[in-house]
Amino acid sequence: MSLPELASARPGPQPGHVYLVGAGPGDPELLTLRGARLVAGAEVVVYDNLVSPLIVELAPAAAARIYVGKKAADHTLPQDEINALLVRHARAGRRVVRLKGGDPFIFGRGGEEMETLMAAGITVEVVPGVTAAAGIAAYAGIPLTHRDHAQSVVFATGFLKDGALELDWPMLARPNQTLVIYMGISRLGEICARLVEHGLPASTPAGVIERGTTAQQRVAVATLADLAGQVARAGIRPPALTVVGGVVGLYPRLAWFQPDAGEPPAHPPHAGCSAIHRGEAADD
Ligand SMILES: C[S@@+](CC[C@H](N)C(=O)[O-])C[C@H]1O[C@@H](n2cnc3c(N)ncnc32)[C@H](O)[C@@H]1O
């Protein structure tokens, strides 16, 4: 069976259903085929701030496009109102696509939305997306595992509900492991210090990637000792991902992605961004 035949054998979006679709980390071409097909048949698209506008544009002209963008300190719509919105549109019998950055189930509150929808008796399908860690590491030329450097990978969040940075530091600071931290930029200095305190050498390679996989991608690579300073000097801002471990040392050799500022931005432009170091370490 060919891929188009396979796709047509599966149903497109159904009335009254909600599809939690991972939009990937930025580059719109990283959307899955299933995700693209569901968006193209949607009547309502509800999307976050890290979703590429080019993916939202795949929806039919008549579809309602509802932005519910969330940033840590600036919730455009509180989570319970997003849940209520999804339930309302599904109950009205519409084909609803909930587009979330990266993968819906990785630091995306997809589980919370699904619990609410299912409790309300609504049928939900989840379409995985390329999570930021996988997509951004790939575009930055940082393999998350490598036989010489890392036999395990850990995804952690640097943003906790109550603001406390109470993570399992001994586990995060294990050797021969790659650590990927989502949403950790505002606490970067503290995170690096805690990792060193719990046993990682201060010379461990570490990097931060801003707006990874997009035309605005910038990479700062340093060590745990000086990463926070490099990132501050380069003016790197969220959305940004931190990667720690020996694999980051491969970046200068494996970086392949050449962001092209001539392409349309995959994320809305971020006010206050300073000089761009495209595809290069910020090594001032
Ligand atoms: C709320 S989390 C959502 C993660 C998403 N569900 C995923 O699977 O990638 C948002 C965080 O993901 C990271 N992130 C997402 N897209 C990014 C990008 N293009 N460049 C850098 N970091 C990104 C940042 O750490 C950002 O603060």
> 281 lies in a domain?
no
Cβ of residue 219 lying under 6 Å from some atom of ligand 1: no
| Residue of 167, 133, 160 whose CA lies nearest to 240 | 133
Q: Whose CA is nearest to atom 16 of ligand 1?
A: 25
Within this chain, do residues 82 and 173 fall inside the same structural domain, yes or no? no
Q: Are strands 18-22 and 96-100 parallel, antiparallel or unpaired?
A: parallel
Residue 207 falls within a domain, yes or no? yes
How many domains does the structure of the chain reveal?
A: 2
Clarify whether residues 7 and 99 are in a common domain: yes
Q: Where are the beta strands (DSSP E) in the chain?
A: 18-22, 44-47, 64-67, 70-71, 74-75, 96-100, 124-127, 152-157, 177-182, 205-210, 218-223, 240-244
Q: Is the domain of 116 the same as that of 137?
A: no
Ligand 1 pocket check for 241: Cβ under 6 Å = yes
Q: Is 163 left (phi over 0), alpha (psi -120 to 50) or beta?
A: left
pLDDT at residue 2 is higher than 60: yes
Rounding to the nearest 10 degrees, give the CA dihedral for residues 25, 240, 75, 66.
-20
Determine the distance separating the centroid of ligand 1 and the alpha carbon of 212, expressed in angstroms: 9
Query: Does residue 60 have a cis peptide bond before it, meaning omega lies within 30 degrees of 0?
Result: no
The answer to whether residue 36 sits within a structural domain is: yes
pLDDT at 182: 97
**Would you give the DSSP letter of residue 18?**
E
Domain hosting 237: range is: 132-254
Strand partners, 219: 209
Residue-wise pLDDT tens digits, 224-262 = 999 999 999 999 999 999 999 999 999 999 999 989 755
44 and 120 share one domain:
yes
Instruction: Yes or no: say if 225 and 204 are a contact pair by the CB < 8 Å rule.
Output: no
* Amino acid 70: pLDDT: 60
Residues 162 and 93 in one domain: no
Ligand 1 in contact with 158 (CB < 6 A)? no
Ligand 1 within 6 A of 101 CB? yes
CA–CA gap between residue 42 and residue 31 (Å, rounded): 15
Q: What is the pLDDT of residue 273?
A: 25
Q: Are residues 150 and 113 in the same domain?
A: no
Residue 167 lies in a domain: yes
Query: Quick one: 162 and 58 in the same domain?
Result: no
Does residue 99 belong to any structural domain of this protein? yes
User: Do residue 177 and residue 242 come from a single domain?
Assistant: yes
Question: Distance between CA atoms of 272 and 223, rounded to whole angstroms?
Answer: 25
Asked if 9 and 100 sit in the same domain, the reply is: yes
Are the CB atoms for 148 and 119 separated by under 8 Å? no
- Asked if residue 263 is part of any domain, the answer here is no
Q: Which of 136, 236, 241, 244 to mutate to test the pocket of ligand 1 (most atoms within 8 A of CB)?
A: 241
Residues 137, 209 within the same domain: yes
Q: Are residues 164 and 105 in the same domain?
A: no
Judged against a pLDDT cut of 60, whether residue 264 lies above it is answered with: no
CA distance 139 to 171: 27
Q: Return the pLDDT at 31.
A: 98
Residues 138 and 236 in one domain: yes
Tell me the three state secondary structure of residue 64. Answer: strand
Does 284 have pLDDT greater than 50? no
The last residue of a domain, from among 93, 111, 127: 127
- Give the CATH number for residue 20: 3.40.1010.10
Residue 184 located in a structural domain: yes
Residue 203: give its domain's CATH number. Answer: 3.30.950.10
264 occurs within a structural domain: no
- Residue 75 confidence class, pLDDT cut points 50, 70, 90: low
Q: Return the SS3 of 33.
A: helix
